[in-house]
Every structure is written in C-alpha cells, then in structure tokens.
Amino acid sequence: MFQDSKTLAQGVLAGQRRAMARAITLIESTRPDHRAAADALLEALLPHTGRSVRVGISGVPGVGKSTFIESFGLHVIGQGHRMAVLAVDPSSPRSGGSILGDKTRMEELSRDERAFIRPSPSGCTLGGVARRTREAMLVCEAAGFDVIVVETVGVGQSETAVADMVDMFLLLLVPGGGDELQGIKKGIVEIADAIVVNKADGDLAAAAMRAARDYQNALHLLRPASSHWTVPVLRTSAATRMGIDTVWETVETYRRVMGEAGEIAARRTRQAQAWMWSEVAENLMARFRADPSVQAALAPTEARVAAGAMTPTAAAQFLLQALLDSAGVPR
C-alpha cells in the first residue's frame, strides 16, 4: 500500500531516499489507481523541478560506460553536487537488464549518499521506459539532485529518446582503427553535444589521439546544431580518471553558454510539448486496445489484412470506426 501522494511528496522534498524509491516505484506501476496517485504526486513536485543540469550519456559496446559514469559521478559529487543516474534500457527483459541492474558495477558511487542510482523499469517498450524515466527525473530534481545523468543501454532509437529529455548529450567512443567511424550511426553523432574518446591511456593513448582527430574532422562535415556551440572531442581514461574533470568543465560551459543564449530553455519547452503529445498518443492507444468493440474486431481484421483481403488503411479506418461507434460518436 502506497502512502498518500501528499505525504510521499513531503518525503521526496525532504530528500528522503526511501521516499524517492517509493515515488519512482509508484510512477512505474501500471495499475490505474497507482497512475492517479502518481499524477497527483508529480503535480505536487512539479514546482520544485527544473533546476538541475540534465545530461544524457550513450556509448558503443565496450566503451567502459559504467566505469566512466562512476568516475564522472565521483568527480561531480566531489565538486559539491548531488547526482542521480537513471537508465533507459528497453532491451532489459531480453538481455538480462541494464548495467545499472547490478550496482556493484558502480560500487563506490552507489555507496555515496550524494548519489542516487536507479535502473530502468523492466518489461516496457521504449516509449514506456522513456515516459517513466522523464517522471523519475522530476522526482530526483524535487529531492534536490542538481545533476541528472540519463544513460541509454539499448541500441537504436533509445539514443534519440534520451536526447529528447536532456539538456546535453554525451557520446562515448573508443579508440579504434582506420574504420572506427563506420561503426557509428550518423544520426547518433548528429545529436551529440560532446564526443568523449574513452580508454585514452596506456597502449591506446596514441590511438585515442588519432581517433579524436578523425572524429573532429568528421564533425566538420556536419551542420552544427547551434551557432552558439561547437561540438568538442575530448579524451578520457575513466580507469585513471584522466580528463574526467575536463568533461565536467565542458558540461558547465555548455550549460552557461547555451543557457545565456536561451537554447536550453527553448529545448526544454520543445521537450515538454513533445512529451505532452507522446502522452496523448500513448493514452489514446491504450484506450483503443482496451475497448471491447475493438478487441472483438481486432483478430478477424488482422487476419483479413494478413490474407490480403483488406488494405491496412481500410483496416485501420474500420477499427477506429468501431471505437467511435462504441463511444457513441455520431458518424
């Protein structure tokens, strides 16, 4: 049984970690009564949100992302900040979970009271995970965490989903051979606000320097997303913590420059509007699938489409009309 939303909100605002965990669990629940309570909770917390810097982090496999996030987090909290780490991992039900599912991968950071680590909710679509992560981000901000890291563990569209909810997006890459750029999707590079070449130490130090130069040259071929910001290419070693301070300084510079230019506020406005329409689409689809008339017509309609006896367009119109008729909407 969850506490009432008002009491839970008071606990979150007081920075109580147990209240934060309970609030996020409530948000992740799919029960209708829990959803109503979660909406009331978020409404109470909303005036206390928005004061953090929101940073998205993605990386190619083997880049050492968990080590990087821990080193980055320890540096950030050492500067007097409080940092929350949230995951977007729609693949978790199949792949065995996010790297955050096992906090021993970031053992030192997870033990610190100034840090809060929360794995992705399991069993959700990408849209569902993104929705819950956006709401969990608000809970963390209301609890006083002023740096929010959202990491993407899945591949494909999850990078875009994360970029659409943060102020700044960091792309972690590894030193490689001459064809390292071929393994990176152009679209992911285009949404990056900074590129970080990790593992730039030991035998890989020279390769990292070459890779950073290649990435910088490749960026010159892309149109800048903003006239106020040039995407930097940084080199780090999360294992030795070399260059981690530069990454944080870059985040602070980005926040100052883009904040003064009004671009962060404009970005958050666009994100809030997109979030609203995403909620409209998800709720309409949920009501559509739950409608008895639609449920009765769905299987035979799908069968007709599969057999080529009905076009997908006609089938969609037929099912939508079934929903409207069920709701008593006149034709």
pLDDT of residue 219: 80
pLDDT of residue 1: 41
Q: Cα separation of 182 and 41, whole Å? A: 46
Model pLDDT for residues 255-304, shown as the tens digit of each residue: 999 999 999 999 999 999 988 998 898 889 989 999 999 999 999 999 99
In the chain, what percentage of residues exceed pLDDT 90?
Answer: 55
pLDDT of residue 132: 85
Q: Cα separation of 264 and 254, whole Å? A: 9
Q: pTM value?
A: 0.86
Model pLDDT for residues 169-203, shown as the tens digit of each residue: 999 888 874 445 545 556 677 788 999 998 888 88
Residues of the chain with CATH 3.40.50.300: 50-261
For residue 102, pLDDT over 50 is answered with no
Query: Which homologous superfamily is 50-261 in?
Result: P-loop containing nucleotide triphosphate hydrolases (3.40.50.300)
Of 72-81, 100-109, 168-177, which range is least confident? 100-109
Q: How do strand 194-197 and strand 168-173 relate by DSSP bridges?
A: parallel
pLDDT of residue 324: 94
pLDDT of residue 58: 87
Angle (nearest 5°) at CA 95 between 281 and 171: 70
Strand order in the sheet with 194-197: 115-118, 83-88, 147-152, 53-59, 168-173, 194-197, 233-235
Tell which CATH classification among 3.30.9.10, 3.40.720.10, 1.10.287.130, 2.40.110.10 matches the domain 275-326.
Answer: 1.10.287.130
Residues of the chain with CATH 1.10.287.130: 275-326
- Distance of alpha carbon 207 from the chain centroid: 30
pLDDT of residue 186: 63
151 close to 68: Cβ distance less than 8 angstroms: no
Region 28-49: mean pLDDT is: 91
pLDDT of residue 122: 55
pLDDT of residue 96: 43
Region 59-86: mean pLDDT is: 91
Is 317 exposed, middle or buried (CB count within 10 Å of its CB: 0-12, 13-18, 19+)? Answer: exposed
Region 116-124: mean pLDDT is: 73
- Distance of alpha carbon 172 from the chain centroid: 15
pLDDT of residue 158: 74
For residue 214, pLDDT over 70 is answered with yes
Residues of the chain with CATH 1.20.5.170: 1-48
232 band by pLDDT with thresholds 50, 70 and 90 = very high
Least Cα distance to 27 among 110, 130, 107 occurs for 130
**Class of the 1-48 domain?**
mainly alpha
Q: Angle formed by the axes of helices 312-326 and 263-290, to 10°? A: 80
Model pLDDT for residues 129-144, shown as the tens digit of each residue: 778 889 999 999 999 9
Burial 147-170 (b: 16+ CB within 10 A, else e): bbbbbbbbeeebbbbbbbbbbbbb
For residue 220, pLDDT over 70 is answered with yes
CB atoms within 10 A of CB 313: 9
pLDDT of residue 180: 52
